[in-house]
Each structure stands twice: as structure tokens, then as C-alpha cells.
Structure 1
Amino acid sequence: MLNYGKTYRYLHWSMAILFIISIALIETKGVFNDEALNDGILTFHIQSGLILFALVWFRIGWRLTHSIPPIQPALHTLHKLGVLLVHIALYAMLIVIPFLGIVALQTRGINVNFLGFALPTIISESEGLQYSLALISYHQELGNIMIYSILAHLAFSLIHHFIWQDNTLTRMLPMSARFAPSRLLSSRMENS
């Protein structure tokens, strides 16, 4: 097995696109003078975050029950540990960030619905109002850290591909054989 299966690749890229949409939505909230539009943007941000929250559990389940295609050439043990820790951190943020968002909304007395279904109340407004601003702040700060983490993830994928010339990136691409670094280099040599 040289690359991830279709299910995992679709899951990975769907979550990446959904995360970009979620961030784009929240960054545009407040730009418009229309309160109803801003409320709609917030609603779509919440829904996309909750979909990510649901998908991350499915993705973790997949990772625990399926073998992962090996990186070739193999990484140094310390490098493997770094990759594992980064992935754990990304998964953790995909769980914690939406959870904090849900709790922050509930501390303000807002019922959170996921695709039309009410989520159970974790904390009531009377119990949590004093924590509301802190929870929103943590949600936002972790969201910013997640953005930088994903940019670093992307940068390292490109470093793996173009500098270290292993198959880290191509394992996740739909047409990986066309983008293998060794093929790119050999085709350049043949064309020179």
C-alpha cells in the first residue's frame, strides 16, 4: 500500500476544505452592517465547526482500525515521533476548539443545534456566565494556533516532498504517482 485509501483521503481533504470555510466565515463576521447576515455567518461557522467535530471522531476511528501507508524512504525515529505528536495535537485541537465553542455559547444561554438537533446542555447560563469571556478567548486563541499549525503541516508536507523527497505528500494525493519527486526529477533530467 503506497497511499491512503479513498475514504481517508476524502475525509482529510473534506475536513481541510471545511476548516478553511469555517475560518473564512468567522473572519467575515462583523464585516457587514447587516445583523441578520452576521447571525447567518455565525450559524454557518458553528455548523461547519460541529461537522468537523463529528468527522474528527470518525477519522480517529479510521486511524485506529486501519494500517497507515509507510513513509518511504523511512524516517528517523525522532522524526517519526515528531510527526506523531503533531498529528495528535491537530486531532486534539479539532476536538477541543468546537467543544469550547459549544460551552461558550451555552454559558450565554444560547442553545446549540447541530443540523437541526439540539445538543445536550453541558453548562447552564447561570452556572457558566462568569466563564463565558474566557471560554470564547480560549476558543479563538486555539483557533489561531490551529491555523498556524495547519500552515506548518502544509509547509512540512511540501518540504517532505520537494526537499527530503519522500512519499509523505503523495500518500494523501488522489493521483500520487504523477507527483512523485523521483519521477519529477527524472523527467527534468530527461528533458535537459
Structure 2
Amino acid sequence: MRNDTPSHYSGTTRFLHWAMSLLIILQFMKLGDRINDGEHWVGQNIVPWHISVGALIFVLALLRLWWALRQRPHRPQPEAMPALVRLGHNLLYACMLLLPITGICTMLGGGYGLTVFGINLVAETEVEIPWLAAIGNLHSYIAWTFVALVIGHIAAALFHHFVRRDRTLRRMLGS
């Protein structure tokens, strides 16, 4: 595995970024479940995978966090407002980790059990665990915060590309 350099991100970094981006877009489609009580194509075909994709994102987020910490000395550094850039990225990572954790709390706290990619990890008990369900109640709030952060992240990348005309977006695209 090649390391990041001050001028570009490695293939590993780019793969983790874009793979997780696609999975996160799938997760955002869960918002479509709120339309017509999920009685449409998205609600019937994508939403049932929400828990499994969330578990995959959690594993990839841990891997990505480990990789980012390992690459920290090599990475391109933000030119403008580095403290704000770090805060934004840290909040994105926090959401990528907290969303699956609170999702698991929702499932277990409600007694629903936990099945990931068809593998039953925790059996359904139908016994509610109030303190765990209370933590799970944060899931939706964190999800909406994450949506706002992702929109801000995309807007910042586009601002760098089209207004500042720097290499920020190109480094993540590999060009």
C-alpha cells in the first residue's frame, strides 16, 4: 500500500473515501422511507439493506480512521482554515462511527435483535431495554447532522474546485 503524500492521496485513501461515499448515499436513501410509508421502489428494495450497509460503513469507518491516523504525517495539509477543516472532518468521522452504534442501540434497545447481511448476530427478544433505546433515539438527530455535514463537505470541495481553483478536489479524484 502506497502512502499519501503532501501533493496527493493514495489509492487506498481514495478507495475508502469513494466506496464509503457510495454506501453513505445508499444510507441517505433511507430518508425516502418517510415518503408514502416506504411503499415505493426505494422503500422496498434499498431500505431493507440499511442495517447491513450501516454495519459495513462502521467497519470501513474504523479501517478508514486507522488509515487516516497512520497517514497523518504524509497527508496533504489544508491551506485555508486548517482548524475548521479538521473540525469538519472529525465531525464526519464521529457521525460515521456514532450512527451505526446508535442504530445498534435502537435495534437491541427495542428488542428487535440484530441481523447483518442475513446473519443473525443477536436474536430478537421483544424485551425493551429503555436506556439502550434512549441512546438509539439519538440516531435520527445524528443522521440529520450527518446529512448537513456531508452537504457542507461537498460544497467545500466544489468551492475549492470552481472558486479557489486549487487541487483539493483533484487530489481526491486522483488527477
Same fold (TM over 0.5): yes
Structure 1 pair 75–126 and aligned structure 2 pair: CA distance change class (3 A): same
Q: Secondary structure at the match of 2:168?
A: coil
1:48-127 aligned at under 5 Å gives the runs: 48-66=53-71, 67-71=73-77, 75-76=79-80, 79-119=81-121, 126=127
- Partners of 2:31 and 2:75 lie apart in 1 by 35
Q: Secondary structure at the match of 1:110?
A: coil
Identity of aligned residues (%): 29
Across the aligned residues of Structure 1 and Structure 2, the Cα RMSD in angstroms comes to 2.7
Letter in 2 for 1:58: L
Cα pair 2:99 2:142 within 8 Å, conserved:
yes
Q: Show structure 2 runs of 5+ residues with no match.
A: none
TM-score, normalised by the number of residues in structure 1: 0.74
Number of matched pairs:
166
Cα drift, residue 168 of structure 1: 1.5
Of 46, 50, 57, the match for 2:51: 46
Q: Show structure 1 runs of 5+ residues with no match.
A: 177-192
Q: Does 1:22 align with 2:23?
A: no
- Partners of 2:155 and 2:46 lie apart in 1 by 29
Letter in 1 for 2:12: T
Structure whose CA Rg is larger: 1
TM-score, normalised by the number of residues in structure 2: 0.81
- Partners of 1:105 and 1:40 lie apart in 2 by 20
Cα drift, residue 22 of structure 1: 1.3
Provide, for residues 118-138 of structure 1, a one-character-per-residue CA deviation record: whole Å limited to 9, x for no partner: 4469xx864624663x44541
- Partners of 2:115 and 2:74 lie apart in 1 by 35
Cα pair 1:160 1:166 within 8 Å, conserved:
yes
